[in-house]
Amino acid sequence: MTTKISSEVIENGAITEAKLASSCVTNDKLASGISSSKLSGALPAIDGSSLTGISTYADSDVKSLFNVTGSAPMYACRAWVNFNGTGTVAIRASVNVSSVTDAGTGIYTVNFGIAMPDVNYSIGGGALKGGTPNTLGTEGAAFGVINSSSCIVYTQAWTGDLYGSSAGMKDTAQVFIQIFR
């Protein structure tokens, strides 16, 4: 079997690793019409090392990738988690969260897989009771920064109406947070 390049024919097995390593195969010896800039650099290893010739990208390339318009800066979510906070805490899904620790009724410590660069990150999220909604009760969450490797989540339940309500810490069935930096 042969492979045809332009008008030249190269027999299978004719190009060996030894010939590639000894520079027997060069840009000049390849078919014309291929830009030498596309052929410069070392061949990459299986793990991608020695990969060269990757051009830089512009902010507009990234915005296009994420379908974003406008000139406002864009920042990615550094970590997020969705977990069940009742009984034994169980992570449903997460990115860059190594664990969630039950620190008491309605209190959870979220540990990051890779630490944030500093403690100046932003935490958002919420908590829901789950199941059938209770029109006389609602649940919510508050957040705090512990350090660059973890944050704390507090969940509460409010019952009653606007004029006669009570609140207390409560383990919550659906807790979800996002970390931005």
- The answer to whether residue 90 is domain-embedded is yes
Give the number of domains in the chain: 2
Report the 10 Å Cβ neighbour count for 171: 20
- Say if CB 3 and CB 10 are below 8 A apart: yes
Calpha distance 20→41 (Å, rounded): 12
Q: What pLDDT does residue 148 have?
A: 96
Count CA atoms within 13 Å of residue 33 on its CB side. Answer: 4
Q: What pLDDT does residue 36 have?
A: 57
- The answer to whether residue 27 is domain-embedded is yes
Kindly state whether residues 44 and 102 are assigned to the same domain: no
Token readout for 102 is 């039950």
- The reply to whether the predicted model has a pTM over 0.75 is no
Calpha distance 79→99 (Å, rounded): 12
Kindly state whether residues 81 and 112 are assigned to the same domain: yes
Kindly state whether residues 148 and 91 are assigned to the same domain: yes
83-141 pLDDT, tens per residue?
A: 999 999 999 999 999 999 999 999 999 999 999 999 999 999 988 865 445 444 567 88
139-148 pLDDT, tens per residue?
A: 788 899 999 9
Kindly state whether residues 96 and 10 are assigned to the same domain: no
Q: How much is the average pLDDT of 169-179?
A: 91
Calpha distance 139→155 (Å, rounded): 7
DSSP state of 60: H
When pLDDT is cut at 50, 70 and 90, the band that residue 61 belongs to is confident
Kindly state whether residues 130 and 51 are assigned to the same domain: no
> In which domain, by residue range, is 26 found?
2-55
Kindly state whether residues 176 and 90 are assigned to the same domain: yes
Reply yes or no on whether the pLDDT at 169 is more than 50.
yes
Phi-psi region of 115 (alpha: psi -120 to 50; beta: other; left: phi over 0): beta
Kindly state whether residues 10 and 41 are assigned to the same domain: yes
Q: What pLDDT does residue 120 have?
A: 94
- The answer to whether residue 20 is domain-embedded is yes
55-64: b or e for each residue (b if 16 or more CB lie within 10 Å)?
eeeeeeeeee
